[in-house]
Amino acid sequence: MTGTGICTGRVAAVTGAGRGLGRAHALALAAEGAAVVVNDLGVAADGAGASPGPAQQVADEIRARGGRAVAHTGDITTTDGAASLVAAALDTFGRLDALVNNAGFLRDRMLVNLDEDDWDAVIRVHLKGHFLPLRHAAAHWRAEAKAGRTPDARIVNTSSGAGLLGSVGQGNYAAAKAGIIGLTLVAAAELARYGVQINALAPAARTRMTERTFAGTMAKPAAGEFDAMAPENVSPLVVWLSSADSAGVTGRVFEAEAGRITVMEGWRPGPTADRKSRWTPAEAGRTARDLLAAAGTPQPVYGAR
């Protein structure tokens, strides 16, 4: 493996690492010296089926390049699967320093056509699939800190522009990705005392999940041109956030695509009125309109006309 060695000696677990962004992250972490637990259930784009092939192929690719890796095919949306992910790192490499939560799939529908199973499946994989690995990794790091071995640990969660702005036809996905941002902020506040930093990423890249949704903008460029939508463009920030070099950075949300990195700034108080007593409905309405007139215009939901 070649690189600067920014993650030398560290062990990282990456969920959904068999394809797309997760695969790019796993390879980039390994190239920078990390040993990698490559997790992937091997499902189809809509979450159906399972295969050990994708995770094993990426682990084999890392080893073929001179790195260290082990495949993990457990279901990280279950307690046993998430616990076994952490155990795989500890049993194989003796430690865990970074967790990259990336696993997910899509079941897109307009809200009036979105059935309960499609809602539950997407919330389970994206949101619960972030919470359970985070919870089990955090329990390990808390135990280490209480034993006097305070870790220098990192978690990188994967949100989306859909979670920041919303996306037409993706109510389940947008809700899950917005929930991941909330989870990130709470985890960063709760786990700082144990030596754990947690940040979230909203990436844009060409993957199985985006090829159909954004088919017109995801085409590969001509040979020799910069591939702006390559998943590998996102991975350098993931590697840095997983490294000890990112000390002091926690509870933040970044957008990353092509050659652009943006620090996203969330909800902040805007125009305010306080009459120090209760409003009538009509007064509240007039005041709300005045405040809205003084406020900035929100960015449009993806796909809205």
Domains and CATH numbers, the chain: 11-264 (3.40.50.720)
Q: What pLDDT digit, counting tens, does each position of 69-106 carry?
A: 999 999 999 999 999 999 999 999 999 999 999 999 88
Q: What pLDDT digit, counting tens, does each position of 216-239 carry?
A: 555 677 777 888 989 999 999 999
Quick one: pLDDT at residue 174? Answer: 96
Quick one: pLDDT at residue 98? Answer: 98
Active-site entry in 84, 159, 173, 242: 173
CB contact at 8 A, 174 and 162: yes
Rg (CA), the chain: 21
Judge whether 177 counts as a catalytic residue: yes
At 45, the pLDDT band (50, 70, 90 cuts) reads low
Active-site entry in 84, 159, 167, 177: 177
- Give the residue, 67 or 266, on which the prediction is more confident: 67
Quick one: pLDDT at residue 3? Answer: 77
In the predicted model, is pLDDT for residue 112 greater than 80? yes
Quick one: pLDDT at residue 217? Answer: 54
Quick one: pLDDT at residue 144? Answer: 98
Quick one: pLDDT at residue 51? Answer: 72
Quick one: pLDDT at residue 246? Answer: 98
Q: In this structure, which amino acid lies at residue 208?
A: R
Quick one: pLDDT at residue 205? Answer: 87
How far is 64 from 60, CA to CA, in rounded Å? Answer: 6
- The mean pLDDT of 3-10, rounded to a whole number, is 93
How far is 249 from 217, CA to CA, in rounded Å? Answer: 32
Q: Which residue has the tokens 């030596």?
A: 195
Q: In this structure, which amino acid lies at residue 76?
A: I
Active-site entry in 84, 160, 167, 243: 160
Quick one: pLDDT at residue 168? Answer: 95
- The mean pLDDT of 244-255, rounded to a whole number, is 97
In the predicted model, is pLDDT for residue 1 greater than 80? no
Quick one: pLDDT at residue 50? Answer: 63
- The mean pLDDT of 33-51, rounded to a whole number, is 80
- Give the residue, 42 or 59, on which the prediction is more confident: 59
Tokens of 227: 């591939």
CB contact at 8 A, 1 and 67: yes
- The mean pLDDT of 110-123, rounded to a whole number, is 96
Tokens of 50: 């399972």
